[in-house]
Amino acid sequence: MTAQLQDICVFRGERFVLHHARGRSLFVPELHGLRPKSPGSFCWSGWTASYAVTERLLLTGARVWSSKIPVIYGVEPEVHQTKAPNGAGKPCLIYTFPEIPLAFTGTLELVKVLQSGDRYARLVPTYRLHLAEGVLGDVESLETEKPSAQGA
C-alpha cells in the first residue's frame, strides 16, 4: 500500500498530521478555481494543505496538482513540473501563504507520526481541537498515560 501525503498542522510548536476534520471552511481548492488531479497513488485527492493553530486556525500553505495556475490570496505559486512513469507530467503548484485566517467551525484531530523501523509508521492520537469561526476553544488530549516503569 502506498503511503499518502497528509495535511499538516502545527500546534503548540509541534508538527502533527491532520488525521480527521469534522466541519466546514478548511481550504478547498475548487473554491479558488482549481481542479486538482491525482499525481499518483500517493495523493488521490490531488492536493494537500498545511495549517497552524494558535488562538486561531491559519492556512499556511498548499500543494496542488493542477494545470490551472491561479493566484490565491494574492500569492502566486511556485510551479514544479512532475513526471509520471508513463511520461505525462502534471504541474505541482506550491503555495506559501502569509497565515490566512480560516473561519472553520468544527473539530480537528491531530496525530503524531512515530517511526517504527525503516518502513512503517505508527499514528498516535494526540489532540482534538474544537474551533468556532476559526477561533480555538476546547483542546482535548487524546494521549493515554503510559504506566510508569516502577509500577503502581
pLDDT of residue 130 exceeding 80, the answer is yes
**Between 116 and 8, the higher pLDDT residue:** 8
Measure the CA–CA gap between 109 and 127, rounded to whole angstroms: 6
Q: Are strands 91-101 and 78-81 parallel, antiparallel or unpaired?
A: antiparallel
Q: Which three cell numbers stand for residue 34?
A: 482549481
pLDDT band at 119 (very low <50, low <70, confident <90, very high): low
Entry pTM: 0.84
CB 45 within 8 A of CB 6: no
pLDDT of residue 40 exceeding 70, the answer is yes
The pLDDT of residue 120 is 60
Measure the CA–CA gap between 116 and 119, rounded to whole angstroms: 7
The pLDDT of residue 27 is 93
Look up cell 494521549; give the residue: 143
Domain spans in the chain, listed from the N-terminal domain onward: 8-12+23-102, 106-141
pLDDT band at 149 (very low <50, low <70, confident <90, very high): very low
43-82 pLDDT, tens digit each: 888 899 999 999 999 999 999 999 889 999 999 999 988 7
Cα-based distances in Å from 139 to 13, 57, 72, 87, 96: 15, 13, 30, 46, 27
The pLDDT of residue 148 is 38
pLDDT band at 123 (very low <50, low <70, confident <90, very high): confident
**Between 25 and 27, the higher pLDDT residue:** 27
pLDDT band at 125 (very low <50, low <70, confident <90, very high): confident
The pLDDT of residue 49 is 96
